[in-house]
Amino acid sequence: MKTKTVMTRFSLALCTLMALPLAGISQQNTGTANDRDGVILFVESKPEMQYRHMGTVECATVSPDKIDPLIDHMIKQARKKGEEFDGLIFRAGHNVCKADIIQYYKDPKARKSRGRRGEPAPIDPAKKKSLANDRDGKYIFIENSPTAENQLLGKIETSPRFKGRKPEEFIVEMLRIASETYGEFDAVVFIDGEDLKKANVIKFK
């Protein structure tokens, strides 16, 4: 009986030790999503918290090409549906032109926070926790800041000769540049306000 108990404890300890490296890896894609005009943006990422799906929104026939005005356009499109929502999860591979409208489950005990007059209410930081998508093992951070400890390998940018226009084309190009420039890296973090033309390349510690 004692032998069986010792073996069980040994097995549990071994499983715990084996799981530790995996746990570290799974945390590398955690981040803090940006918000705009009270809407949390999950671009190439998804929320860490549970949520409910409120619907889907797509770009209008005529829409901007650059990512910043495109995001503003999508927020306006979502608001046309007239329902209260917390964030948009932009579907990968759709050039920021298709997104799921989400709303977090409300805590009945939570007090409703109010912003200043004419401004949206402050957003609970927990709602902005995100899990970045990966492409062939490399994480993509757009409108999203990594929270896992990391080392900056350097900065990259697209060539003036690059003729891409859609977000997907910039993502593919930046991954190519990062791979050719640094070889081993873990993620590309696109710099806000640069139309996906500049990014930081990082490696997690």
Q: Is the pLDDT of residue 108 over 90?
A: no
Q: How much is the pLDDT for 18?
A: 42
Contact 67/196 with Cβ under 8 angstroms? yes
Instruction: Identify the pLDDT of residue 190.
Output: 98
pLDDT in tens, 151-204: 999 999 999 999 999 999 999 999 999 999 999 999 999 999 999 999 999 999
More confident residue, 166 or 19: 166
- Answer yes or no: is pLDDT of 49 > 70: yes
pTM: 0.82
Alpha-carbon distance 180 to 191, whole Å?
Answer: 19
* Closest listed residue to residue 160, CA positions, set 122, 205, 198: 198
Q: Average pLDDT in the 105-125 region?
A: 71
For residue 113, pLDDT over 90 is answered with: no
pLDDT value of position 119: 67
* Cross-sheet strand order for the sheet of 35-36: 35-36, 39-43, 87-90, 98-104, 51-58
- Average pLDDT value over all residues in the chain: 87
127 — phi, psi (to 5°)? -70, -20
* Angstrom distance (rounded) from CA 125 to CA 112: 14
pLDDT of residue 33: 98
Neighbours of 26 (CB within 10 A): 11
Q: Identify the band that residue 16 occupies on the pLDDT scale cut at 50, 70 and 90.
A: very low
Residue type, 49: M
Residue 76 and residue 59 in contact, taking contact as beta carbons nearer than 8 Å: no
What pLDDT shows up at residue 187?
98
Tokens found for residue 67: 């990512």
Q: How confident is the model at residue 120 (pLDDT cuts 50, 70, 90)?
A: low
Per-residue pLDDT, averaged over 106-126, amounts to 71
Per-residue pLDDT, averaged over 92-104, amounts to 95
Amino acid at site 36: R
pLDDT at position 125 is 96
Q: Predicted confidence band at 25 (pLDDT cuts at 50, 70, 90)?
A: very low
More confident of the two residues 176 and 112: 176
- Strand, coil or helix: 203: strand
Contact 71, 41 (CB under 8 A): yes
Name residues whose C-beta falls within 8 Å of residue 72's C-beta, 6 or more positions apart in sequence: 36, 37
